[in-house]
Amino acid sequence: MENLEQFLEDSNLLQVEDGVCRVPFLVRGEIVAPEPVEKAEIEAAFQARVAESGKGEREITYVKMDRVQVVREPVVDREASRFTGAWFYQVMPLLSPSQLCEPDPTRLVSSLYNLPVKEVIAYLAEVGRVFTPEGFLARKGIELSRISSELPDDFLRGAIFSIPMLFSEKMAAEMIDNELSFGGIAGRKFLDGWTKIKTDAYPGISMVLANRVSGVSGGLRSFAARAVGWMKFGVTLPEDIASIMPAQGYTIQTRAMPTRQLHVTAGNSPLVPVMSCFRSLITKGYGVIKAPYGATIPGALLGLALHAAQPDHPLTRNTSIVYWKGGDREVEDMLFLPTFFDRLVVWGSPEAVESIRSRPIWIKPVFFNPRYALSFIGREAQEDLDGVAARAATDTMIWNQKACISSLVHYVEGDEAQALAYCEALARALAKWDEKIPNLVPPQLAGQIKRLKRGKFMTAKWFTNGEGGRPQSHVIYMPGEFNLLDHPFSRTVIVRRLDRLEDALELLHPAVSAVGVYPEARRL
């Protein structure tokens, strides 16, 4: 695809006409375009769905029509940081799940799985070059995302502009070599083939006894071992058994085997589907990436980049970036069968994760459950409140407080006066973010915050930034316990006071993804 811009224009893809945009998919290396459909047909389909469901109009964001599927997102006035009342319709192809499946792993073994890692890295770098900040795809990504994204422009630009860095040779090589390393051996060795590793692991008593029974040194899968392997586990072998243990070291051969991967991604960051796809690519996986609602455009752009880089490359030919409404049994029942995929990777909200957990799944799942981060602020912060608050605000503002590693609650060591002083400093720090990068607070979220202020959080002390009845950020000093499920996100920090910072340790559990600690010495 020599001229991607011309191709999209000629095909009327990713062109916005009267609020309607046709969004293509990458399906096993092919660009699949949706059929044309009139806006009047789309609006009629949504009106019928609203009437049928009995829900409010804003609750219905997806319809499946005869020839296409459509999602809609509220249009954002970027200057006023509010919704306009109009909709941005994204028209996408309807797919059969069979189009996404590879039932023959032997085909993959002879092509995709045998790619040398250096070739994988070179391919990824070429994809990154298609996505350069000054290039057409990056400009198109920002242009389309600005129509409906609730993320401020700076976050959108940061997401799009970080893709070339992610796909660079250096980043890809470091991730492969570090994250797949074992025993001090770089990960690429395991991806490229069988690799020998020396270990003290024991060979298994049956293999040892085989020497006594039939004089063989073990089974077809056995390797030389030594009694010290048993000794490491605190086991002293009987002399007659120890005497027949091989004296040489135990050597195994292992490799990192690529898999057929189905990724169901979340929409809290436009980079989530990109990261999921990247990990599938660097591990030579046969990948189907389900883009989430709110990030179908970045998914489509990445698919175009893969195709533009090398349309016939095995990685392109074995990657699909698509969309279907989560929970659609017509699609998922087939995809979740054991025949077509080896791994199911699930990101998402508690409802999305639980929906998949509750169903029979015949492939090995990997769940990235919803998580959140905390901040532990020691009494030493009183010596530099504004400086500490500025850094703590940075931890809060990761992806505009939508990421699973953004801090939601700050635990402050000290008396109430010191905790309130920290709240004031944190509110000042967040106000600087509001000034430089204004926040968009959706109407339903603004309503939730008002209800909290008048209800469940009524006894709390609020520090609110914003003018003209349009709050931008909040710091809430909470004297008592609260339900974290009531947290509204959207630049809102709840502050709790502690006599001893160590008392906060009992609050840690697997759903806590990260903790920022001040001062650093208290963490160590």
Buried b (16+ CB within 10 A) or exposed e, 7-30: ebeeeebbeeeebbbbbbbbbbbe
pLDDT at residue 250 in the model: 67
| Cβ-contact 25, 18 below 8 angstroms | no
| Cβ-contact 452, 486 below 8 angstroms | yes
Check whether 2 has a pLDDT greater than 80: no
pLDDT at residue 227 in the model: 43
Check whether 228 has a pLDDT greater than 50: no
Q: Provide the pLDDT confidence category of residue 201 given band limits of 50, 70 and 90.
A: low
Better-predicted residue by pLDDT, 221 or 255: 255
Q: What is the CA radius of gyration of the chain?
A: 27
Check whether 245 has a pLDDT greater than 60: no
Of 45-49, 227-231, 333-337, 460-464, the poorest mean pLDDT is in 227-231
Q: Is the peptide bond before 519 cis (omega within 30 degrees of 0)?
A: yes
Check whether 236 has a pLDDT greater than 80: no
Chain-centroid distance of CA 159 in Å reads: 13
Distance CA 208, CA 218 (A): 7
Pairing of strands 343-347, 260-264: parallel
Mean pLDDT of 27-49: 97
Mean pLDDT of 89-93: 98
pLDDT at residue 108 in the model: 93
Check whether 204 has a pLDDT greater than 80: no
pLDDT at residue 350 in the model: 72
Distance CA 242, CA 237 (A): 6
Better-predicted residue by pLDDT, 325 or 524: 325
The letter for the amino acid at 45 is A
In the chain, what percentage of residues exceed pLDDT 90?
A: 72
Distance CA 119, CA 123 (A): 6
Better-predicted residue by pLDDT, 278 or 270: 278
Distance CA 67, CA 141 (A): 26
Mean pLDDT of 165-177: 95
Backbone angles phi, psi at 24, to 5 degrees: -85, 160
Of 3-17, 88-102, 215-229, 231-245, the poorest mean pLDDT is in 215-229
Check whether 429 has a pLDDT greater than 90: yes
Which residues on adjacent β-strands are paired with residue 345? 263, 366
Check whether 209 has a pLDDT greater than 80: no
Domains for the chain: give ranges and CATH numbers.
Answer: 4-177+258-368 (3.40.605.10), 194-254 (no CATH), 372-523 (3.40.309.10)
Distance CA 294, CA 319 (A): 21
Q: What dihedral do alpha carbons 140, 143, 149, 154 form, nearest 10°?
A: 100
Check whether 224 has a pLDDT greater than 70: no
pLDDT at residue 223 in the model: 45
Check whether 231 has a pLDDT greater than 90: no
Mean pLDDT of 167-184: 93
Mean pLDDT of 56-65: 94
- Only one residue has tokens 């890809």, namely 172
List, for residues 143-153, the tens digit of each pLDDT value.
999 999 999 99
Q: Which residues contact 506 (CB under 8 A, 6 or more apart)?
A: none
pTM of the model: 0.88
pLDDT at residue 237 in the model: 60
Better-predicted residue by pLDDT, 313 or 365: 313
Q: Provide the pLDDT confidence category of residue 199 given band limits of 50, 70 and 90.
A: confident
Q: Provide the pLDDT confidence category of residue 383 given band limits of 50, 70 and 90.
A: very high
pLDDT at residue 269 in the model: 83
Better-predicted residue by pLDDT, 155 or 365: 155
pLDDT at residue 226 in the model: 43
pLDDT at residue 103 in the model: 81
- Only one residue has tokens 């062109």, namely 15
Better-predicted residue by pLDDT, 123 or 217: 123
